[in-house]
Amino acid sequence: MRGLIALGIALSSAMALAAPAFAQQPNMAAKPEAVCTAEAKPPAGFEDWNGKAAITTATSAEHVAHASLALGKGYDATLLNTPKVAMPVQPEKPGGSVAHAGLFSFTVETAGSYTVALGTAAWIDVLEDGKSLEPTKFGHGPECTGIRKMVVFPMKPGVHTLQVSANAAPTLKLMVAKAP
Amino acid sequence: MIGLVACASSVAPVAEPWPAADMQAPFPANNAPTPIKIELGRRLFYDGDLSWDGTMSCATCHEQKRGFADPNKTRPGFDGQPGERNIQTLANVAWFRSLTWGGPHVDTLEHQALIPIEGFVPVEMGFGGKKEGALAQRLKDQACYPALFKAAFPEKQGDISLDTIAMALSVFQRSLVSLDSPYDRYRRGEALAISDQAKRGETLFNDKQCASCHAGPHFTDAALAGRTPYETFHRLAMPLDGKDAGLQRITLKAEDAGKFRTPGLRNVALSAPYMHDGEVATLPDAIWHHYAMGDAQADLRLKQTVSDAEVGDLVAFLNALTDEGFVRNPAFALPPRGCPVPEDMALAGDEAVSQRLHNSP
């Protein structure tokens, strides 16, 4: 883990990377949060991170098309308490009943790596063909951008489902974009 | 691995027959296991509701695939406050007589279970200082838990309290038995279960006196019969870093500065990083760490030399302690969604409870 932290510091303008063998961690903050005196510019592809488009979680897979995210667009997402969101796949870290969860969809036009960025360290699952994808990278976002967590997934073209679980608050900064 | 100072146990392998893979863990008479109590404990272990904001369960830090350890040096609490010490594995904790890095007084799992839930140093799951009974009430308000507690604790009329929560968590943790690694099979007579390099590592493990502290079939003197908890705390030949006085924080004795309890080594290859502060990233470095110089008071056993090749052999031996069946055992994993219908519900003799479990979402 020490190596990962050093790498994260070295990559101050990009996300800290982790070995794929390490599944994403909801509390990866092994290094202390930076003291920010000014807001830093989000990384390439995430220029709209501070966008405030509103979106509310779907409550089940049947309704997930109504909670569709546009790639490259920053959202203030509204979540619901865990029991009120029927996740298609049980998350590895489901969160308790008092935590908050979200269920969204997004469409990928071309195959490639895409990044899910969050303002918190909530757990993320991206479903493709009904199965949870293995991330290829995960880490903390660039310091002082407000991006707390970035997880990269390789995706095929098509509609994908994003599950967010174990989030403390009922709102969440959220964005999906082509991996920087 | 951790310190060798004043570890007085025999270096040689224990004389008794090596434990069978299905050896039963010891349970205290006042918290006997039943299938439903173990299942309740498992659900609690994986339930984020045991943290104040619902984001953190026991399993958040104790991940099965890592031998119930954590890949971070230390783990922040539910609200991001930094952790203090590296997360320890849970394999075979039923045999341990001392359960934390620095506190010999924490000698039962029932006691230990409440420390992360309610503790302040550091804050982990965040119920400390909150309204009394808040966690119990949270569980009472759910559809499944009242029935599970009633079935698990009929003698307590299904009481949901910190006591019964800790009891159920403890029973589940005592069920986490890991005794089927390649090395276990080798010790039980399968000569080809481990490599020649691992066999050389086993010899070195004894010759270099690693087994002096990492003793017995659980690879810690904390699980040896006849030891007091206090006797399982040792200091490495490392200068005190001034950050964590270990046992001294409890005893206030100068001679206890820098002493920590010997961790077990089962599944150690999966549980990086190492040492009480998680500052050592790899197994080779952890071995070298034991031989670091700089302390004139260090035990002479730590002042012997170890070569690169020997470290390689020792790592091969430690890798042979990985029990793949343990880290993949579905009985220890995140339980499926919904409320369980335990096989022994009929034995509980409570049709109403059984019916409720069947019908719960």
Chain A environment of B337 (Cβ under 8 Å): 90, 94
* pLDDT tens per residue, range A79-96: 999 999 999 999 999 999
- Please tell me the number of Cα atoms within 13 Å of A128 on its side-chain side: 13
* pLDDT tens per residue, range B127-153: 999 988 999 999 999 999 999 999 999
Mutate which of A97, A118, A138 to test chain B, going by most B C-beta atoms within 10 A?
A97
Name the pLDDT band for B15 (thresholds 50, 70, 90): low
Q: To which residue do tokens 């390689």 refer?
A: B312
Asked if B142 lies within 8 A of A30 by C-beta distance, the reply is: no
Query: Is the distance from CB of A102 to CB of A172 less than 8 angstroms?
Result: yes
In chain A, at which residue ranges do the beta strands (DSSP E only) sit? 53-56, 68-69, 75-78, 80-81, 100-108, 112-118, 123-128, 131-132, 137-139, 149-155, 158-167, 171-178
Of the listed ranges B11-20, B305-314, B323-332, the least confidently predicted one is: B11-20
Question: What distance in Å separates residue B289's CA from the closest CA in chain A?
Answer: 15
Predicted TM-score of the model (pTM): 0.87
The 3 state secondary structure assigned to B77-142 is: CCCCCCCCCCCCCCCCHHHCCCCCCCCCCCCCHHHHHHHHHHCECCECCCCCCCCCCHHHHHHHCC
Mutate which of A27, A84, A148, A171 to test chain B, going by most B C-beta atoms within 10 A?
A27
- pLDDT at residue B4 above 80? no
Q: What is the pLDDT of residue A62?
A: 96
Of the listed ranges A30-39, B33-42, B102-111, the least confidently predicted one is: A30-39
Q: Residues of A at the B interface (Cβ-Cβ below 8 Å)? A: 1-3, 22-23, 25-30, 32-33, 82, 90, 92-100, 122, 166-168
- pLDDT at residue A29 above 60? no
Q: B66: nearest CA in chain A?
A: A22
Question: Which is more confident, A60 or B353?
Answer: A60
Q: What is the pLDDT of residue B297?
A: 53
* pLDDT tens per residue, range B193-215: 999 999 999 999 999 889 999 99
Asked if A168 lies within 8 A of B76 by C-beta distance, the reply is: no
Query: Is the distance from CB of B164 to CB of B170 less than 8 angstroms?
Result: no
Run of H or E including B233: strand B233-234
Residues 6+ apart with CB under 8 A from A6: none
| Nearest-CB residue to A95 (from B48, B72, B75) | B48
Of the listed ranges A1-10, B22-31, B84-93, the least confidently predicted one is: A1-10
Vertex A180: Cα angle to B61 and A111 (nearest 5): 95
Q: What is the pLDDT of residue B274?
A: 95
- pLDDT at residue A10 above 80? no
Residue contacts between A and B (CB atoms, under 8 Å): 81
Mutate which of A89, A93, A132, A138 to test chain B, going by most B C-beta atoms within 10 A?
A93
| Nearest-CB residue to B73 (from A30, A82, A97) | A30
Residues 6+ apart with CB under 8 A from A151: A24, A115, A116, A124, A135, A137, A138
Chain A environment of B60 (Cβ under 8 Å): 26-27, 93
Average pLDDT rounded to a whole number, residues B114-120: 93
| Nearest-CB residue to A2 (from B65, B273, B337) | B273
Chain B environment of A98 (Cβ under 8 Å): 49, 53-54, 138
